[in-house]
Amino acid sequence: MLKLRTKDADFEAQFSRFIKIKREKSEDVSASVAKILEAVRSRGDEALVEFTKSYDDFDINPAKMRIAEDDIDIAVKSCSASEIEALNLAADRIKDYHKKQIPEDLQYIDAMGVTLGYRWSPVNSVGIYVPGGMGAYPSSVLMNAIPAKIAGVKRLVMVVPTPKGNINSLVLAAAKIAGVDDIFRIGGAQAVAALAYGTDSVPAVDKIVGPGNVYVATAKKQVFGVVGIDMFAGPSEVLVVADAENDPNWIASDLLAQAEHDASAQAILITDDEGFANSVDTRLQEIAKNLSRSDTALSSWKNFGAIIIVDDVNQSVALIDRISPEHLQLAVESPESISKEVSNAGAIFLGRFTPEAMGDYLAGPSHVLPTDGTARFSSGLGVADFMKRSSIIGCDRDSLSKLGPHAAILAEAEGLQAHALSITSRLDKKK
């Protein structure tokens, strides 16, 4: 864990090095992924069967690749009543929040008489990748699928690896609650290929969303252009701004909530009280010992964690914007005053009683957020990510006569005579 103090003479140099650290050192699997993609593109289901056997140790029959409704219903029934209740509550809250994101169409006539505007329409089909290996996350199913449904996507296709044929029942329950249309028991780069190119069993889609390992992430990059994708996501991260009025146990737990995700995850604390910072670090070490992912959490904290001591918590704004965190937790007396000044953050959590974990499950906004500093120029997943905007332009004879000659001049200046002619031929035509 790195400790920095803004009052130190070398703070700027240390901080600059810190925010440039590359946390994820993934192997280059580009060539391997390219071969997998081409195999699925050219051989379809046959390749999916081979890769599923090789990577998931599971003999898949193309006819059984799609999980039947009866099997989904059985999985749902195997979940506890409290789990289903929690999933339904989360789904309702995610729906309510995202309904408010639906964009409105616009159409008007400007001073020259030109009809202008735009119209929003949903992407026709979306594929959702859901991890099925070390971690199974039904919450991610809801966070990806529900905004798509709210946008009006007509077909939602989910792919999930089933190592040795096993699948998490809650993942299937979440898919059913979210309104996923088809679920296929395939994973890895081969599943991304199937969604991008289509096979006899798996329909091609227009956009692919959802997290995955380095093979999945690389596959999404390589098929981008054939289909749309959501984002290039890296390891999770949280920045907690906290004063000494907080319980150190709370803040330690908040930091660990990110650190336990992945050894490459990052947790950062900014505080104006070094004694409080030391207490948080001590409690973090103690709490981590009792976690099932203790080794992962402690590795993350040791290698990528940081504590930054500032003179005043309001001093944190400039640091926040330079870090551009995925999650920003403001556990201070007046969180709104800091929040209003922050430009770069995927999601902002206000006050001492708003742990980031609430956003992971059922606060409402999607937990699919920009990582690795990309909050500088991108946003979390939302309804608009599953929609397209078409511009609307309409000229009548009068408005064309006013604007057309100027457009023709620009066309001629660019050496595009046919462009100019397509305008002037209409101007010359007699009524």
Q: Is 327 a known active-site residue?
A: yes
Q: Which residues of 107-139 are buried (b: 16+ CB within 10 A; e: fewer)?
A: eeeeeebbeeeeebebbebbbbbbbbeeebbbb
In the sheet with 106-109, reading across from the earlier edge strand, the strands are 106-109, 115-122, 387-394
Question: Is the sign of the CA dihedral 351, 354, 355, 360 positive or negative?
Answer: negative
Indicate which residue of 327, 341, 356, 406 is catalytic: 327
What is the gyration radius of the CA atoms in the chain, in angstroms? 26
Residues in contact with 282: Cβ distance below 8 Å, sequence separation at least 6, in sequence order: 248
What is the 8-class DSSP label of residue 201?
A: S
d(CA 217, CA 420): 45
d(CA 123, CA 334): 41
Indicate which residue of 326, 341, 367, 419 is catalytic: 326
Q: Is 98 a known active-site residue?
A: no
Q: Are 130 and 349 in contact (CB under 8 A)?
A: no
For residue 401, what are the CA distances in angstroms to 111, 396, 428?
A: 14, 9, 10
Instruction: Report, as residue numbers or ranges, the catalytic residues.
Output: 326-327
